[in-house]
Every structure is written in C-alpha cells, then in structure tokens.
Amino acid sequence: MEMTVAELVSAQWDDHRTGLRCEDRVLTHHQIAAGAAARAALLVDLLPRGAEPHVGVLLDNAPEYPLWLSAAALAGAAVAGINPTRRGAELARDILHTECRVLITERAKLPLIDGLELPGVRTLVTDTEEYGQLLAPYADAAPGDAVLAPPDPARRLLLYFTSGSTGAPKAALCTQGRLAAAGRSLATNFGVRRDDVHYICMPMFHGNAVIADWAPALAAGAAVALRRKFSASGFLDDVRAHGATYFTYVGRAVQYLLATPERPDDRDNPLRLGFGTEAGAVDAARFSERFGVRLVEGYGSSEGGAAVQWSPGAPRGAIGRAAPGDDLAVVDAGSGQECPPARFDAAGRLVNGAAAIGELVNRGRNTFEGYWRNPDAEAARLRHGSTGSAWYWTGDLFFRDLEGWLYFAGRTDDRIRVDSENLAAAMIENILARYERAAAVAVYAVPDPVAGDQVMATLAHPGPFDPDDFTRFLAAQGDLGPKMVPRFVRVLDRMPVTATNKVHRVGLRRTGFRCPDPVWWRPDTELTYEPLTPAAQAALVERYREQGRESLLDPR
C-alpha cells in the first residue's frame, strides 16, 4: 500500500522519545510533528493563491531543514533544496527557476543572496526574533490543520538539483510516494530499528541525505542526529555523543575519514552500518578494519530511474546487481547495443575497458518522475533504445562481468562528479573562458584516484603561463564554486580540434594529465598550482594503481 511522507510525519505525534539531536538542541518526535504542523500552517498563509507550492531551503544541516521537509509534506507543498555552493546569478536562477515564493535561510547565508534580484520571493531568516514571532500564532497547530492540497502519494515533495550536459542544473522531482517507499525499503533492507540513530552529515540539499538517511529514519521511527557540515575530525566524537548507529556517505568522505590520525579507540563506536557510493573497494575494506563498521555500497540514479542493489558475495569493486524488476544493461551509446562482458587479468584489472564500458540503461520499469519545467532534459533521459521502447539513460558509465555484477566506471562526457557534486563542464568552461590570456578553454573530467572525478582544464595559451596570475583570476570569479576549481591545467599553444572544427574533447580526456604538454596541478585543496613533474606524475599514477583504478586513466 502506498504511503505518504505526511502520514509518516503525522505518526510521530504521540511519540515522545528523542527524535532529533543537533549540537545542544534536542527535539522529541512529537515536537518535530508539532513544529512541522506550525510551519505548514504558516506556509499555507504565506504562499500567494495560485502560486506553485514551492518553498526554497537555503540552510546547512540544522533542525529547521527536516522541520521544513516535514512541514511541506503536511501542507502538500514541495521543498527545493538550494545549493549554498552556488553563487551570484546562478544561485538566483535556481531559486527563480523552481518558482519558490518563500525562501528559508539563516543569517550566515544572507551574504549569498545579498544584492540578488529575487522578485516575489519572501525570505524567512530562521535565527531571528521576527521568525519566532511569525511562528508563534501557529504554536497549537496539529498535522492536517492547514493544507494546500490533501496529502497524496503522487504529490510533489522534493525538487533537488542535478547537473547534466546542458550546463544548467536541472531540478529533479520526487513525490511523497516515492520518498516514503524509498524510506520504507531501506529501513527494511537494513533492519532499521526504532532505537537507531541516523547520523546526517552529508548536505540535506542532496538526495543522498534526504532519501538514504532521513527517509528511512522517518519510516522506522528512528532518531536523527545532524551535523551542520561534514567534519572528518569531528565525525567519531559526534557519533559517540549522539549514539549514532547508521550514516550515509560519498566516497570522498570516506577518504577524508581515513586520512585522520589513527587512535587506539577508533573501533570503540556505536556504528553498525554505513551506506553510500564510490568509496572504492580498497578504502571500504580499510574503513571496516579500522573502525569496525561495515560499509554497504549501492547505486541509485538521483532521479529514480535505475538502482543497483548490493548483494552478499559481491566481488571486490562491484556495486551489485539490478534491483528487482529493473532490466539494466550496459549499452554502447552510439550503437544502442549491449556491451560485451568485462574481462580481467590475473591481478583483477579490467583488460577490455574500451569495449566493456558503456552507459547504464534501464530498459524496464522505472520511477523517474521528470524535471521541473525541462522537457528537453526529460526527453534526453527517456529516449528510445534498440527495442523501440523508451529506455532510461542514467548518464553513468558501468561495466558488467560474466556473472552479471555491475561496476561503476565514471560519468558521461559533460558531467564531472567531485565530492558527490555533479558539475557541468560547460558551466565551468564558460567561467574560465573569461581568462583573457587564454585563446580557448576546454573543461572535462579525469578520474579521481579513489572515487568520482577531478576537474581538468586545457588552456590554449600563447606565451608563457603564469600560475599566480591564473590563480588571482580564479579567486576573483564570484560564480566559481569551490568544487569547480580545476585540479589539473594543461597548457598548449593551440586547442586540438576535430574535422568539423570542434574541440577534440575525446582526445583530451584520453590523455588526461599524462600528455606531452606542460601540466600544472594543485596537490591539495589550496588554490596554488605547481608543475606536475615526472616524479609527481609517477607517484600520482601509483595512487590509482593502489586503488585498482589505473585502467580508468586509459578511456577509449
């Protein structure tokens, strides 16, 4: 039977156990339901009649975030998760594109929207006296007292941004029914109990935190503990303080945790499970050994069109197999035909990547619910395959072995996944094109040594390259988010082009940072470039080899 998130929130009303912890604030499940009801009633009064029932949330992981998710569910509205790493006109575009007439934020985020043109948008600042005064008249509200539309499984609840080859972020849709079903499924699969505590340290404007962490806790009646922003150094202290038993991650977070100094009591923690993507087999094993916590890898298209489920007995590096009912295939995008199975050498390295790696496609049923006002993007995602029926194209690269196990291999051409952020190469390219000393710019992904991608840029740069001048240029670009900054910069006299006079991106990606031209790189997170010397390149390639990802440096 289909349920709604509103029903799950309403079920908290008579539950007076601890339901939410964040820093020094503790709320019971009842207080969460009551707070959500008050905010739902406020929202119903604030939204102009006839407006789309959308509320933008521009917050770190604070208690107000899950309260507004719950409030939107009760009111029959939808939350647009606004990414705080966006800047300037692009940030304004996200808010206006999703037609948010109310924006929930906090004082620390006000500089991000200062000076932006946001016509018709009412801003509520949660950590102000005015906000408390607005909520006060609704303090006695209960779930169901104020609704814009009756709760329904098909009612839109989430609009969360994901990037693609068009360059502009797309707002993927998620209904109450899909989110509730995802929460119940994960709670069942992982045996989530009422006395569990889900630690949410991934940003809640992402589907990862909401769908894979908050929703199963809500479905099972478990508590959540929030961390405003992920901190590797504070992770274990938080877990112990909150009694956390479950968390979600992306691969880079696992790498950061492993980089912290080892302590003799690392295994002394209440965690029993971590669920996420792209940790990599080597780091997942290291994490389990060091912290005594099993990591379960999975894959799910943010838009709901395809899922790969982890299964016991998965070979090293495999994500899993298709979820029940899905008809997943690894397809050559050019021919539409299924790629041949992967072959491995005695050391377990992929030896036929050029043929075996293709795009993951769901040829069967899927729960893709579309994008907000973007029919072209929907048509690109759902298009006909070799059978003549519409297939769901994930935009993600995989290969499959003879036993049917699926392995993640990267992203398709214009998508770059850095620290769980899907970035559009075209967007970064447009910003770097402002650099007057460069005659042309190309931006593309190169594999990260552990998980996901890193940003690489090629500059057609006549004359000597000045890394300090380029660094000053990057620092002055207000719309260049921190994850967009190139890790590698290749410098050449003239941009390579194809016979049709287009930038030869395939060739650039194929050679990556192992090319005959000078390459400058940032060895760490500092905005400082230095030459990638042969010794540094050899050491870097060794890191890929240790993680079993060296073959990804030779795409075909």
CATH classification at residue 34: 3.40.50.980
Task: Outline where 99-196 has alpha helix (H).
Answer: 110-113, 129-135, 176-189
Task: Outline where 405-533 has alpha helix (H).
Answer: 425-432, 467-475, 505-511
Per-residue pLDDT, 315: 87
Helix (H, G, I), strand (E, B) or coil at 180: helix
The label of the residue with tokens 């309403």 reads 10
Residues 36 and 162 in one domain: yes
Instruction: Tell me the whole-structure pTM to 2 decimals.
Output: 0.80
β-pair partners for 454: 446
| Tens place of pLDDT per residue across the chain (556 aa) | 699 999 999 999 999 999 999 999 999 999 999 999 999 999 999 999 999 999 999 999 999 999 999 999 999 999 999 999 888 999 999 999 999 999 999 999 999 999 999 999 999 999 999 999 999 999 999 999 999 999 899 999 999 988 543 457 899 999 999 999 999 999 998 999 999 999 999 999 988 899 999 999 999 999 999 999 999 999 999 999 999 999 999 767 887 898 899 999 999 999 999 998 877 777 888 899 999 999 988 888 878 899 888 777 888 878 888 877 779 999 988 788 999 999 988 877 777 876 888 899 999 888 899 999 999 999 989 998 767 789 999 988 889 999 999 988 766 666 688 887 767 677 788 789 889 898 889 999 999 998 889 999 999 998 899 999 999 999 998 778 888 899 999 999 988 875 434 677 878 988 999 999 999 999 988 899 999 999 999 999 999 998 888 888 875 4
Alpha-carbon distance of 224 to 194, in angstroms, equals 11
Alpha-carbon distance of 70 to 79, in angstroms, equals 10
Per-residue pLDDT, 37: 98
Give how many domains the chain has, as a whole number.
3
Residues 349 and 397 in one domain: yes
CATH number of the domain within which 465 lies = 3.30.300.30
Alpha-carbon distance of 396 to 361, in angstroms, equals 9
| Domain boundary pick from 180, 211, 231 | 180
Return the exposure string of 477-514: e unless at least 16 CB atoms fall within 10 Å of the residue's CB, then b: beebbebbbbbbbbbbeebbeeeeeebebeebbebbbe
Residue 329, token pair as written in the block: 């295939």
Residues 10 and 110 in one domain: yes
Per-residue pLDDT, 98: 98
Residues 392 and 423 in one domain: no
Residues 341 and 379 in one domain: yes
Half-sphere exposure of 304 (CA within 13 A, CB side): 24
Residue-range definition of the domain harbouring residue 444? 416-553
Residues 15 and 163 in one domain: yes
Per-residue pLDDT, 165: 39
* Any domain includes 194: no
Residues 120 and 16 in one domain: yes
